[in-house]
Amino acid sequence: MADTVKLLKALGDPVRLAVFSLLCGQKELCVCDITAALDITQTHASRSLGVLKNSGLVKDRRDGLWMHYSAVKTGYNAPVAGFVAAMSTSDKKLGGVLKRAKEAVKKSICPKKQCESVRKRG
C-alpha cells in the first residue's frame, strides 16, 4: 500500500501531473523540452522529475551531459498511465496544457543536437 500512496502523492501536484502526462505522450524528453513545453523553470522541472522518478513513474537516461526522461508505462504503472491519458482528454485544463506542451515540443527550442537526434530516433 505504501507504493500506491507514494505514486498517488507524486501525481497530486498539477505540474508533476502535467510532466507525467507529457512524458506519456512522448518517447522521451530532456529537461529543456519539459521546461519550454510547460513554461516552468529548470529547477521546478528537475524537482518534479525527481519526485516522479522516486515514485517509479519516470525513468532517466544519461546521454553525455544531458538527461532524458521517459514515462514508465509497464507493469504496475500501466493502469496509471492509462488513467492519466484518459484524464488528459476529459479534463479541459490539463488537455489544454498538454496541447500547448506538445506544440512546444514539436517546435523544440533545445539548442543541444543530442536532444534532436534522440527525438528523431523515437
pLDDT digit string (tens) for the chain, length 122 residues: 677 788 888 989 999 999 998 898 888 888 888 888 888 899 999 999 999 999 999 999 998 878 889 999 888 788 888 888 787 777 777 777 777 777 777 766 565 544 554 445 44
Q: Which long-range contacts (CB under 8 A, 24 or more apart) does 10-14 make?
A: 10/51, 10/52, 10/54, 10/55, 10/57, 11/57, 11/80, 11/84, 13/48, 13/51
d(CA 53, CA 92): 26
CATH architecture for the domain at 2-121 = Orthogonal Bundle (1.10)
Question: What does the pLDDT read at residue 48?
Answer: 96
Residue spans of the domains in the chain: they are 2-121
